[in-house]
Amino acid sequence: MSDTLQGLNEEQVKAVTNTEGYVRVVAGAGSGKTKALTHRYVYLVNDVGIATENILCVTFTNKAANEMRKRIRTMIGDQDTGMVCTFHGFCVQLLREDIHTMNYPDNFLVMDEEDMKAVLHNVYEQGHIDSREITYSMAEELISIRKNRMEHIEYILRLNTQELKEKFLTAVNKEDILFYGYLYEQKKAYALDYDDLITFSFYILDSFKDKREKWQNRLQYVMVDEFQDVSATQYEMAELLSAYHGNLFIVGDPDQTIYTWRGANIEYILNFKATHPDCTDIIMDQNYRSSENILNVSNSLIANNKKRVDKKLKPTKGSTVPVIYNHAKTTEQEAKWILGQINKLIEAGHKYNDCTILYRAHHVSRSIEEVLLNAQIPYVIYSGVSFYNRREIKDCICYLRMLIFEDDMSFKRIINVPRRNFGKKRMEFLEKYAEAHGMKLYEALVDNLDNPLIASSKAGEFVELIDGYKRSFKMFKLTDLLQGILNDSGYETMLRTSGDDSRLENLAELKQAVFDYEKSAGEETSLADYLQRISLLTNLDKEEKKDAVKMMTIHTAKGLEFPYVFVCGMNEGIFPSKHVDSEDALEEERRLAYVAYTRAENALFLSDAEGVNLDGSYRYPSRFIFNIDKTYLEYTVELEQKFVESAKSFIQKNEEKISGVLPERFEAGTKVMHKLFGEGMIMEVNENGGYYVIQFEGMKTARNISFKIELERA
């Protein structure tokens, strides 16, 4: 046996040694996918004799590509690993050689997220687009969809900068204004975004025979990692690049397709065998990561999906540690339970670094952070800023602080947020005045409202806002006070205008935090107490510690593994997201839960909490708890039967709505129950109008109720 094949299992050996033709490897979580890929690359070089320059191996993250290159260098003893890179990395190499075919210089600019937002800012201003109507994220998605349909290519090629500007300024449809304005701003700077790297490269390969043949001849073997995440253009590019030699090796897991919002299409990996009849099919299902109990839970969950390759992960290590599910009455209790489990692990000799907390969205981290901070447990948030350090949260807290403390730090932070024409010159004047008179900046501002320098700004509106609330804030509930300030200061309007959806979500979570605090504190609630509590949470030592609990979204955790994993916020409306509107989207949410569960090596903890959301809806446990065979979970508390029935009824109605199943239809004379109006009698069924005429008890007149509204038999 070749040295390259040492240490590989039977399926991995098949993946490595099947070098010719089309090969699909369905590699389950923790099945040694990276090991198989790197050994296959080394096998092609060391055993078959292929030059590294003739192999393309693409994956989806720079981290994965770097890890692969490192392993390959160690095994082949050569620094030259050819083209082991991301799809976008390969496209940059191709464009450096051939972008001149599109009349672009080879030193083109590759845009990042901040560049894209800066470009959109200009387009919104010049095109008079209201970002409350079309947010930045919506605009990015609209532009991306049109680019992936290759709509932009003809304008890039056919029109010069001035002509593109004219097309932008004369566009009527708002989508067109955004699209042409974005292209104009890009072409001015010869700038390419991530979509362009793929689409420009594909256009060159598809349109220029000499360039296509050059790359096809050069790339004798094409390997694509994470094939479940490829977009339409990436799929076509892989097919095109491998068409001459006919050697395309794909590896991925349909059960881990979680990026359809980026253009990934699960059908490509599912249908690969059908579209390539001579394809060699290999399933790698031996799991080397997780305990048997964790795999039982994961297999049980994902079996509920329809769009998948049927497989079950097989354990290579056993464990007596059960997967634990905890249902709490409040998010605070949920967080304290997680803290308790972490403390037990630490007492058993483990490190904070062994513990990872995963969640569906960043705003879910708030209650966990508070508990960890109070307990002085070190933690690190990956791919996100800790909740109370997020800009919009600090701004809101400073507005509240001004009502009691009038402190200079809060004043300087918010005097010009939203903009009040209060810049550096006016601030310097106030600082000198305050220092000379031994007073706070806010007092100095009040003293100088009639000064021509200050009067020409909107500082008077700020003073009116603060003084007004200083006189009346004790009369308000905290939730009403916060909402009032957000409205009257223009802060929430500013966020909506900015188009930054994530900041609005964080603002909603702050409102939820204040609401939760009010409920827990009862009549003892006061603004001063709340601000003191917040100051304790925000002023603790924030130095990053090596031994710290990790916190991140599940999307961030993709491809990683951790000894002890806590998946929190397992609630309907959070996970699965309340934005799920189709069966395909629901299956993707379930795949995301599967990804979360399979990150765990030794132990997995699942948790949710009851409560009421701001919109008045009740928090039920996630269907991704009920989807699991109960024999595989250890419940810390037994759920009440009535509560379970209510939760499952809610879930069933939601799934009927998603699948397009209409509520039950009733005949005239049927007594029904309406969720708001109570009991009533159907007097008439209006088929043409699509509604019932219902006489409700206690109402003088009947009401027309749409067929779409859910009614129950009384």
Degrees to nearest 5, angle at CA 272 with 271 and 278: 125
What positions carry a catalytic annotation?
33-34, 225-226, 256, 599
Strand segments (E) across 329-376: 355-359
Quote the CA–CA distance of 361 and 384 in Å, as a whole number.
10
Task: Write out the two tokens for 408.
Answer: 């200079």
Task: Write out the two tokens for 557.
Answer: 């955790």
Query: What are the residues whose beta carbons fall under 8 Å from the beta carbon of 527, sequence distance 6 or more?
Result: 400, 403, 404, 473, 474, 478, 481
Q: Side-chain half-sphere of 694: how many Cα atoms within 13 Å? A: 25
Long-range contacts of 685-693 (CB under 8 A, 24+ apart): 692/666
Degrees to nearest 5, angle at CA 385 with 379 and 388: 85
Residue among 220, 522, 550 at smallest CA distance from 365: 550
Cβ atoms of 93 and 83 within 8 Å: the answer is yes
| Crossing angle for the helix pair 174-189 and 161-170, to the nearest 10 degrees | 160
Long-range contacts of 654-661 (CB under 8 A, 24+ apart): 654/572, 655/586, 655/623, 658/580, 658/581, 658/582, 658/583, 658/585, 658/586, 659/583
| Sheet of strand 711-713: strand arrangement | 703-706, 691-696, 678-686, 671-674, 711-713
Parallel, antiparallel or unpaired: strands 248-252 and 22-27? parallel
Radius of gyration of the chain (CA): 29
DSSP alpha helices (H): ranges in 522-582?
Answer: 527-538, 554-557
Place of tokens 């989806």: 60
Quote the CA–CA distance of 135 and 692 in Å, as a whole number.
38
Burial class (CB within 10 angstroms; exposed 0-12, middle 13-18, buried 19+) of 403: buried
| DSSP H/E element including 10 | helix 10-17
At 182, which amino acid appears?
Answer: Y
Burial 630-662 (b: 16+ CB within 10 A, else e): eebbeeeeeeeeeeeeebeebbeebeeebeeee
In the chain, how long is the greatest CA-to-CA distance? 89
Place of tokens 């929430």: 492
Report which DSSP code applies to 507. Answer: H
Task: List the end-to-end C-alpha distance of the chain, in Å, as a whole number.
Answer: 74
DSSP string, 92-126: HHHHHHHGGGGT--TTPEEP-HHHHHHHHHHHHHH
DSSP alpha helices (H): ranges in 171-227?
Answer: 174-189, 194-207, 209-218
Query: What are the residues whose beta carbons fall under 8 Å from the beta carbon of 613, sequence distance 6 or more?
Result: 512, 573, 619
Query: What are the residues whose beta carbons fall under 8 Å from the beta carbon of 451, sequence distance 6 or more?
Result: 429
